[in-house]
């Protein structure tokens, strides 16, 4: 059994801790900072044995060194960003696999937010660590890549099994819902989801993980009809508010 819990850090980041009960292994996905992540593992009696990074941004890798020093964790990071992630031990790219106990994560190259960005897909348990590529009702900003690249990611991630749980790296859900409603004001599933996430945030709840099914129904970036439409939506989101 794989238990996955969020550790909220900074303004709106989530570090995901996944613990495999049979092997005792624990992975921290995108630890931007060490202390709260080490503390969250400690209170559960988990020892962090691995770190998986999706991309080089500091809010995703900033805690690597300290967690390694405290636990001896092995850091898996995107190969195409090896020069920017000095704390990396194992570098991976499209087609590689990473294991946590008996669980296997396939590495998906999803460039766009950064050029080396990867996602980790545990198809056996139906979980996707999507980093800053796919968010609840949103997608990552194009800092390094092109709309074509991100659109290809949307097509590909949108084709994963509908019950796949999507563990994104940020709580951007409310702002994403506001934007999505401007794109699809008549989408009933979107309107209901916007209401429900607003209520969740009011009571301090975390709105993740999402599912691929929910994203297919409500995410304007997955739902674009063409790369041109995707690019227009992505550009409009950059200027939203």
Choices 17-25, 49-57, 102-110, 121-129 (CB under 5 A): range interacting with Zn ion: 49-57
Choices 17-25, 53-61, 158-166, 225-233 (CB under 5 A): range interacting with Zn ion: 53-61
Instruction: Look at the block and give the residue holding tokens 């949108």.
Output: 158
SS3 20: strand
Q: Binding to Zn ion by residue 57, rule CB under 5 A?
A: yes
- Marked catalytic residue, from 19, 103, 117, 132: 132
Q: How far apart are CA 160 and CA 1, in angstroms?
A: 21
* CB 188, min distance to Fe ion, A: 31
Closest C-alpha among 128, 144, 120 to residue 51 = 120
DSSP element (H, E) containing 134 = strand 134-135
* CB 150, min distance to Fe ion, A: 15
Is 55 catalytic? The answer is yes
Q: Which residues pair with 19 in a beta bridge?
A: 3, 26
Choices 71-79, 129-137, 188-196, 213-221 (CB under 5 A): range interacting with Zn ion: 129-137
Is 57 catalytic? The answer is yes
Nearest residue (CB) to Fe ion, 46 versus 179: 179
Q: Binding to Zn ion by residue 20, rule CB under 5 A?
A: no
What angle, rounded to 10 degrees, do the helices at 64-71 and 35-43 form?
40
Cis amide linkage into residue 209, ω under 30° from 0: yes
Q: Binding to Zn ion by residue 117, rule CB under 5 A?
A: no
Nearest residue (CB) to Fe ion, 68 versus 170: 170
Q: Binding to Zn ion by residue 30, rule CB under 5 A?
A: no
What angle, rounded to 10 degrees, do the helices at 227-238 and 173-183 form?
120
Q: Interface residues with Zn ion (CB under 5 A)?
A: 57, 132
Report, as residue numbers or ranges, the catalytic residues. 55, 57, 59-60, 113, 132, 170
């Amino acid at each position: 059994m794989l238990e996955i819990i969020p550790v909220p850090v900074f303004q709106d980041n989530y570090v995901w801790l996944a613990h495999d009960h049979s092997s005792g292994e624990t992975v921290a996905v995108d630890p931007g900072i060490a202390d709260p992540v080490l503390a969250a593992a400690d209170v559960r009696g988990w020892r962090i044995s691995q770190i998986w990074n999706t991309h080089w941004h500091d809010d995703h890798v900033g805690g690597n060194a300290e967690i390694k020093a405290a636990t001896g964790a092995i850091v898996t990071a995107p190969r195409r960003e090896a020069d920017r992630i000095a704390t990396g031990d194992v570098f991976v790219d499209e087609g590689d696999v990473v294991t946590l106990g008996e669980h296997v994560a396939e590495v998906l190259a999803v460039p766009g937010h950064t050029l080396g960005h990867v996602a980790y897909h545990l198809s056996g348990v139906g979980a996707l660590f999507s980093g800053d590529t796919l968010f609840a009702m949103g997608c990552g900003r194009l800092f390094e890549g092109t709309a074509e690249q991100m659109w290809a990611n949307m097509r590909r991630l949108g084709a994963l099994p509908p019950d796949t749980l999507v563990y994104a790296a940020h709580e951007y859900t409310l702002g994403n819902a506001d934007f999505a409603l401007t794109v699809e004001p008549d989408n009933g599933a979107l309107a209901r989801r916007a209401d429900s996430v607003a209520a969740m945030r009011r009571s301090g709840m975390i709105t993740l993980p999402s599912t691929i099914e929910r994203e297919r129904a409500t995410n304007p970036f997955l739902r674009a009809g063409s790369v041109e439409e995707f690019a227009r939506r992505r550009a409009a989101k950059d200027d939203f508010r």
